[in-house]
Amino acid sequence: MKHICLSKGGGFNFPPCHILEIGGFRILVDCPLDLSALAIFCPFQTDFYRTPNCESSDSKTKWHSFSCERDRKRRRIEEPVEADDLIPAEPWYKAVANLHLWDLSSIDVVLITSFTGMLGLPFLTNNVRFSAKIYATEATAQLGKLMMEDLVSMHMEFRQYYGPADSGLPQWMKWEALESLHLDVRNIVMGNDGAQLGGWQPLYSAADVNECMRKVQTLKYAEEACYNGALVIKAFSSGLDIGTCNWTISSSKSRIAYLSSSIFYSLHAMSFDYHSLRGNDLVLFSDFSSMMDTDSSGGSCASQSSMTIDSMNLSDENTNEATINALGNTNESSDVMDKLAFICSCAVDSVGNGGSVLIPFGRVGIMLQLLEQMFASLESSGLEVPVFIVSSVAEEMLDFTNVVPEWLCKERQEKLYLGEALFGHAKQIKAKKLHLFPAIHSADLVKMWREPCIVFTPHWSLRLGPVVHLLRRWCRDPNSLLVMEHGTGAELALLPFSPMAMKVLRCSFLSGIMMQELQPLLDFLQPNVILFPKDLPAAHLSSIGSSFSLHPYSENEIMNVPNTRNDHEIKLDKKLASQLLPRMIGEGTIAIARLRGKLELNHGEHILRSCRESLDSSQSRMQLHWGSLDPNLLEKALQKRGIDGSWSANAGANDGIHVFRIANPSSALIEIHAMYTIISSADETLSSLLVEAVSSVLEGI
């Protein structure tokens, strides 16, 4: 088996991407887009919104003249990135760069773990050479489709603003332009060594999305899919969000579990089903969430009037969990509730002060939960403010989330049988407290609009869709509140809107397995081999590694994973087994038998059945002999068959060559060498008798 990690991604919105080679099949896991890279684009001309005393060169001219390039370059490195360093152009989108170095036609299967993991799929399906089978869970496929459609419609606005794009490379991708970019921006565009540059592509169209969705094979919860008769593929809930899953891939030679970011106990999605992952030979651990947390907490600092909810308050408690039973009993859920309650209380405060609240969401499940919580808070505080969701797919998304009970947590499934909606938003829509609008310029929205209000919009990058307009409207209002997810590069994201008077609330939610849960989880799963990221904090690795072998992997390094099993596991039909004619060899500990049958491959299992031709076709079979021939035993065997003869004395007995001369029934000769025997006879019947005698003495089959 071969493994390569193409990208370790960037948290929930940009899941990792891997390629696996199992039994001759090449499997791609996830095909995400790095939408955080959108931050380098400027959604509008920044000049108009600058304060008059702020001195700056006209951005347009800056982009078209490279005269004082060197000075600027120096300036860029020294000074922090500014709003006019952003690229004022229609954005391109950054897919996993290394994926495009692969021959797409060689990929056989694509597995999708979450809806964020499929946003780059149309780039693959657009390619005529791409012919892989794509598997995704029903919920993932549906949500992913909505996300992609939303992306396309939001991008349209960008295109309208900057005018139709020229064919070929955009201006900013030209080498001179890249050189003059601010270092921070350039790093996002090119990566450290320029390798990332190849990942940029113009966005797909709505038609591409439809075409892509036609090629996706959707699976129900825990439905078995069989690829090519050889691989059995199954999805189990990972608990991260609605429809997200971990995959198991089993063939006759190996059983592999792909473990993506998982959450043991979720208040919206079906919890992490780790029981079903048990008993696999190999676990590919692909949860980078814990590493992402440590990365982001050091780097970014929020703007002036921001508050931050720390994500680390979880880790001190429940550290000494030895048993698997303790998994999921942590206060994950109450923690989420606490955070949601805090967001709601902040929102209520803002609204109470006459400000509006803007919530660009990324995670569907959290957003739905927040929506429920928000109404509860508003109700208890007695405030009557409208809540809007502005998104081209809001209606479909909300409808859909109420019809996927199989991907929701037990508590919500119970609601089904009590006759309630799975999520509370349906009730609020009916009560006209929650209003859905496809776009900010909808006629209905203008009629309904009332401030202060609470608005949920896509997109967390703060570059696409209605959030841009609303943020521009409210960014100078100190009473308004923006709720953002942690770790989305807030500084850069907020740059076009600076200076911000608006409050910014940054919160982070659990987005994977916590480190202290890792050990009991892996103990429970009992794999033989674990592939894990090299940069997983070392403290947690030292404790693991007793019963299984660990193989650290890093980005873009092809790894040959030694097979845990050298042999295939196949099934032998009982009927065929009863037809076997085993014979003992050696000291009676080993028996061998000729095996003849038809090998069938069915649903990932090899079954050897007896074929119609019976065993008497031994004629066509070659006999295999080994060992050395004992002359005395041969003589006895010949005598038993009524063949007389004598040992010829003169043939070089010293070399270990024996020659047996047969006179009766007709003349023949047996010549015994160390490793071969030659029978010479003119008589066919006799020679067949001789062969019989020789093989009865030799070990053979």
Please report whether residue 324 would count as binding other proteins according to CB under 8 A: no
**Is residue 611 a contact residue for other proteins (CB under 8 A)?**
yes
CA distance 366 to 345: 16
Could you say which residues in the range 353-372 bind other proteins, by CB under 8 A? Answer: none
Closest to other proteins by CB, 547 or 688: 688
- Neighbouring residues of 67: CB distance < 8 A, sequence distance ≥ 6: none
Residue whose C-alpha is closest to residue 309's, from 505, 42, 555, 541: 505
CB of 78 to other proteins, least distance (A): 54
Nearest to 162 by CA among 83, 36, 59: 59
Looking at residue 387, what DSSP letter applies? E
Stretch that binds other proteins, among 29-37, 197-205, 490-498, 591-599 (CB under 8 A): 591-599
- Residue 650 interacts with other proteins (CB under 8 A): yes or no: no
- Who contacts 575 (Cβ-Cβ below 8 Å, separation ≥6)? 609, 610
Residue 598 binds other proteins (CB under 8 A): yes
| Cα separation, 402 vs 259, whole angstroms | 27
- Report in angstroms how near the CB of residue 578 gets to other proteins at its nearest: 8
- Taking the complex as a whole, the smallest distance from the CB of residue 406 to other proteins amounts, in Å, to 5
Contact pick of 149, 383, 594, 630 for other proteins (by CB under 8 A): 594
- Distance (Å, rounded) from C-alpha 448 to C-alpha 208? 35
Contact 272, 278 (CB under 8 A): no
Residue (125 or 218) nearer to other proteins, CB? 218
3-state secondary structure of 6: strand
Strand partners, 455: 358, 388
What residues between 519 and 578 interact with other proteins by CB under 8 A?
Answer: 566-574, 577-578
Radius of gyration of the chain (CA): 35
**Does residue number 619 form part of the binding site for other proteins (CB under 8 A)?**
yes
Nearer to other proteins, 431 or 675 (CB): 675
Residue 569 Cβ vs other proteins, minimum distance, rounded to whole Å: 6
Q: Is position 579 an interface residue for other proteins (rule: CB under 8 A)?
A: no
3-state secondary structure of 425: helix
With CB under 8 A as the contact rule, the residue among 624, 633, 653, 663 that binds other proteins is 624
Token pair, residue 320, equals: 């000494």
With CB under 8 A as the contact rule, the residue among 101, 307, 403, 663 that binds other proteins is 403
Taking a C-beta distance cutoff of 8 angstroms, is the pair 475, 501 a contact? Answer: yes
Contact with other proteins (CB under 8 A) among 419, 447, 538, 642:
419
335 lies in the binding site for other proteins (CB under 8 A): no
Structure tokens at 57: 């060169």
Say whether residue 676 binds other proteins (CB under 8 A): yes
426 binds other proteins (CB under 8 A): no
* Residue 588 binds to other proteins (criterion: CB under 8 A): yes
Binding mask 679-698 for other proteins (x = CB under 8 A): xxxx-x--xx--xx-xxx-x
> Residue 607 interacts with other proteins (CB under 8 A)?
yes
592 makes contact with other proteins (CB under 8 A): yes
User: Quick check: 615 and 691 in contact, CB under 8 A?
Assistant: no
- Parallel, antiparallel or unpaired: strands 583-585 and 605-609: unpaired
Q: Site map for other proteins, 69-98, x if CB under 8 A?
A: ------------------------------
- Binder to other proteins among 207, 312, 653, 678 (CB under 8 A)? 678
Q: Are 288 and 260 in contact (CB under 8 A)?
A: no
Assess 149 for contact with other proteins (CB under 8 A): no
> Cβ closer to other proteins: 542 or 619?
619
Q: How far is residue 230 CA from its own chain's centroid? A: 21
Distance CA 469, CA 474 (A): 9
Contact between 127 and 211 (Cβ < 8 Å): no
Nearer to other proteins, 18 or 253 (CB): 253
642 CB burial (10 A radius; 0-12, 13-18, 19+): exposed
Element (H, E) at 187: helix 183-190
- Footprint of other proteins on 238-297 (CB under 8 A): 252, 276
Helix (H) or strand (E) holding 426: helix 425-430
* 591 touching other proteins, by CB under 8 A: yes
Select 169 or 624, whichever has its Cβ closest to other proteins. Answer: 624
Q: How far is the CB of 278 from other proteins (least distance, A)?
A: 9
Does 585 help bind other proteins (rule: CB under 8 A)?
A: yes
